[in-house]
Amino acid sequence: MIKPKTDLEIALAHRVKPPIQGAFEEQQAAVIRLLADPKTHGVEFVHRIDTPISHVFIAGSRTYKLKRAVKRNFVDYSTLEKRKTMCEREIDVNIVYAPQIYKGVVPIVRTVKGLQLGGQGEAVDYAVEMSTFDPEQAFDRLANAGALDVVHIRRLADTVARLHTAAPMMRRYGGSGEVGETIEQVAGAIAEAPAGSRLAKEVAAWQAAAEPALAALARQIDTRKRHGFVRRCHGDLHLGNICLFNGVPTLFDAIEFSERIASIDILYDLAFAVMDLLHRGMLAHANVLVSRYLNVTRDYSGLALLPLFVSLRASVRAMVAASNDDTDIGWQEARARLEFATNCLDLRPRPHLIAIGGLSGSGKSTLAQAIAPELPGLCGAVAIRSDVCRKRLFKTSPEEPLALDAYTPEVSTRVYRIMQKDAARALRAGVSVILDATFIDGDEGRSIERIAESAGADFSGFWLSLDLDVLQARIGMRGADASDATPAVAAAQRKRVTVSPAWTVLDAVGTPEEVAKKALEVLSVQVRAST
């Protein structure tokens, strides 16, 4: 099912004026009756959804989306030819994201017996044909029900990263100037909205934070534009436009009507989903989304921009809420969104580099995942895992096993260098990092310590200590995992361990929660000691 979006959300988020009402819809009345009739589809019931720019008809296993015959300042569907062109464009754009959902364009034709969906005859309108999916499988519904699993988020991150990597560069668009226009447009729109008079203080606070943040980041934003980080993206990547289709995270309803709106920095595209998770209090999910995505793209320098991009996405939601005709409801939601947007820009903690070492099976990745969201910052600390870096180096999925020749000393050296480079970039961007690797060689640990020092970051190292038989038992119980280690590998590692004296040896006996609590207590003491 298609989740409606409002004209104001689309228009004002992307630097255009409020929509202009058209006078073209009467000509579609007969087409709407046809598509709303269960007999047209051979079903018992058709569920109809009306949005400001579309009519959607859910008829059993098929859904049909009709462009409304309207002309607005950001879309023009006022003629038959324009509606046909945009239906075709919607298929072209979205088939990249969801080929299993988007089926094609179907004409509504006039025959001697009247209007008909598909077939031969004079075309009087066109509809986008889609496979129907369970609306309860949309990520926003799953999140609200507490059913959005971290596994779903990992798969989503892989999907978005793959699509962003393959997306065409769009150097005509983007840049700090457009970001500045967005801030100005959103602030102005909220002020003019029904609830705007009650939000003056919150708007002023957000704008006072957003404009200096943009000024500090303008050069980097423009540099990224020149280097190809502005791409033809989804453009509307909130949780309501992501679903599980046949068990696979699937993006749908991408922006098709404006290349300008969809041609954005790839991290601004990702920021919509990040913002949705954070605003729901799903910090652990947001942390996994960002960390896993960056494992693929290695865009760690771009982390400096994420607070501003998330803030912008939240401010757009505030603008939509402020436009609610029920000003009490609109005011309350808009105020919460604006406060969230402002708080995103106030988070400037000193970055912290945390290294977690230990033999295979000692619980390094479990500990990293547990403490990463607990560290200061927008999404906590980004986790960089050696096993995942190795898989990416060989262009495979983290859960796909590698051959033995991927585990030579030479390859391991390359993996550690990649981790060090990525960690340094993230630290310079002001974000804490957790490095997850065996670190059985003390020299490797000392090189990590030097990276923290050169970046002006705090450093903490943990060595997880556990009996060999327990380690080996854990390895034997693993399911699909990025680690290919066997019990024999853990035994061989044990013979080569040298731990840096600056690291804390942490007893890894206990539940994951108990081990995480021990680590966080040590971190708290070490951070206080360094300040």
Shared domain for 364 and 228, answered yes or no, is: no
Domain membership of residue 384 as a residue range? 352-530
> Tokens 């547990």 — which residue?
370
CATH code: domain of residue 312 = 3.90.1200.10
| Residue 150 falls inside a structural domain | yes
Shared domain for 176 and 207, answered yes or no, is: yes
Count of domains in the chain?
3
Shared domain for 121 and 145, answered yes or no, is: no
Per-residue confidence of the chain (531 residues) as pLDDT tens digits?
A: 444 444 334 443 333 334 434 445 567 999 999 999 999 999 999 999 988 789 999 999 999 999 999 887 678 899 999 999 999 999 999 999 999 999 999 999 999 989 999 999 999 999 999 999 998 999 999 999 999 999 999 999 999 999 999 999 999 999 999 999 999 999 999 999 888 889 999 999 999 999 999 999 999 999 999 999 999 999 999 999 999 999 999 999 999 988 988 999 999 999 999 999 999 999 999 999 999 999 999 999 999 999 999 999 999 999 988 987 777 888 899 999 999 999 999 878 899 999 999 887 888 999 999 999 999 999 999 999 988 889 888 888 888 888 888 888 898 899 999 999 999 999 999 999 999 988 887 677 788 889 999 999 999 999 898 777 777 777 766 766 667 667 677 667 766 777 788 899 999 888 889 999 999 999 886 765 565
State which of 98, 132, 166 marks the end of a domain. 132
Shared domain for 386 and 406, answered yes or no, is: yes
Distance CA 320, CA 238 (A): 14
Shared domain for 216 and 319, answered yes or no, is: yes
| Residue 2 falls inside a structural domain | no
Shared domain for 69 and 210, answered yes or no, is: no
Shared domain for 212 and 337, answered yes or no, is: yes
Distance CA 221, CA 183 (A): 15
CA distances from 470 to 474, 487, 507, 516 (A): 6, 10, 13, 18
Burial class (CB in 10 A: 0-12, 13-18, 19+), 180: middle
Shared domain for 358 and 499, answered yes or no, is: yes
Residue 111, CB half-sphere, CA atoms under 13 Å: how many? 10
Distance CA 521, CA 464 (A): 15
DSSP state letters, 56-120: EEEETTEEEEEE-S-B-SS-B--SHHHHHHHHHHHHHHHTTT-TTTEEEEEEEEEETTEEEESSS
Shared domain for 329 and 393, answered yes or no, is: no
State which of 106, 132, 158 marks the end of a domain. 132
CATH code: domain of residue 469 = 3.40.50.300
| Residue 385 falls inside a structural domain | yes
Shared domain for 267 and 358, answered yes or no, is: no
| Residue 151 falls inside a structural domain | yes
Distance CA 69, CA 46 (A): 21
Structure tokens at 318: 């505030």
| Residue 11 falls inside a structural domain | yes
Q: At what angle do helices 487-494 and 468-477 cross, to 10 degrees?
A: 150
Gyration radius of the chain over CA positions: 26
Three-state SS for 278-341 is HHCCCHHHHHHHHHHHHHHHCCHHHHHHHHHHHHHHHHHHHHHHHCCCCHHHHHHHHHHHHHHH
| Residue 383 falls inside a structural domain | yes
State which of 302, 317, 346 marks the end of a domain. 346
C-beta of residue 74 within 8 angstroms of C-beta of residue 11: yes
CA distances from 141 to 190, 238, 253 (A): 27, 12, 16
C-beta of residue 277 within 8 angstroms of C-beta of residue 312: no
| Residue 362 falls inside a structural domain | yes
C-beta of residue 256 within 8 angstroms of C-beta of residue 274: no
Shared domain for 88 and 188, answered yes or no, is: no
Shared domain for 182 and 257, answered yes or no, is: yes
Distance CA 12, CA 21 (A): 16
Distance CA 188, CA 319 (A): 9
